[in-house]
Amino acid sequence: MAQQGIAPHESFELHELLTFKNVCLTKSTTMSALVSDERLKSILQQDITTTQSHIKELRSLMEQSSMAGSTM
């Protein structure tokens, strides 16, 4: 029997990943404003872009969850 959607324990894992990615985004954004080295600033900007993409993907997966209303 094929199961659709995401199981509750998977929803909790996604929520944990989403929380972690939000912390990473906050840190990279903050540090980007503080660094003066252009190479490091470029790396941080790449990380910000990638992390924003990951957050969108994780949120999309969370919307498939049966617990979407209670976790977002």
pLDDT averaged per 10 residues, the chain (length 72): 71 94 97 96 97 95 68 46
Q: Give how far Cα 43 sits from Cα of 49, 62, 66, Å.
A: 10, 28, 37
| Structure tokens that stand for 51 in this block | 């992390």
In a domain, 72, yes or no: no
In a domain, 2, yes or no: no
Quick one: pLDDT at residue 70? 52
Domain holding 18, by residue range, is 8-65
- Number of compact structural domains in the chain: 1
Quick one: pLDDT at residue 28? 97
Quick one: pLDDT at residue 7? 82
In a domain, 71, yes or no: no
Quick one: pLDDT at residue 71? 46
In a domain, 48, yes or no: yes
Quick one: pLDDT at residue 69? 55
